[in-house]
Amino acid sequence: MRRMRAGEWLAATGAVGLLVTLCFNWFSADLHPLGWRAYAPVGAHGLTLHQTGWASLGWFLVALLVLLALGGLGIAYMTVRRTSPAWPVTTSVITVAVGAFTFLVLLVRLLTQPSLGAGLPNHLVLVEAPAYLGLLFTALIPAGAWLALADERLDAPESAYTPPPARPIPGT
């Protein structure tokens, strides 16, 4: 654990936080014009007026978020295990690329406020606090991966440079 620096901690914290916040309600519906919140089934479909991040974001975005969380946890794991420096670097590069794309997709999804599958208009759908926390954790993962890439680790014991011995001059 002493090998982990700020970037790895940031990515791992973002990954764990994202997986936890996906279990909370991200969206709800406000059916009363005065702000009364009803959390009851809608119509004959049995849909509720609140949905967790797992249920409300769609399979593609959930798959991207799980992949991103695995990347954040993978950075920390590869850094601690560290059989080769190439593994944490490769994981960080992939996580930065996937993370930037996933963050943009999630941002658009939160701004467009889904209709909760009940055909409700967008102005009745409320974005809850865990959704914004999930967006923050989604941004922390690629930010941590970026910091991990920028970390040269010059003070680590395996990074110590010992110059090669001097070569003799040819022909002497």
Q: What angle is formed at CA 117 by the lines to CA 116 and CA 121, rounded to 5 degrees?
A: 65
Average per-residue pLDDT in the chain? 81
Percent of the chain clearing pLDDT 70 (strictly above): 73
Three-state SS for 37? strand
pLDDT of residue 118: 55
pLDDT of residue 37: 47
Q: Is the pLDDT of residue 34 over 60?
A: no
Q: What angle is formed at CA 24 by the lines to CA 20 and CA 25, rounded to 5 degrees?
A: 155
Top-confidence range, 33-37, 86-90, 158-162:
86-90
Three-state SS for 30? strand
Strands of the chain, DSSP E? 25-29, 50-52, 125-127
pTM: 0.76
How confident is the model over 127-146, as a mean pLDDT? Answer: 93
Percent of the chain clearing pLDDT 90 (strictly above): 40
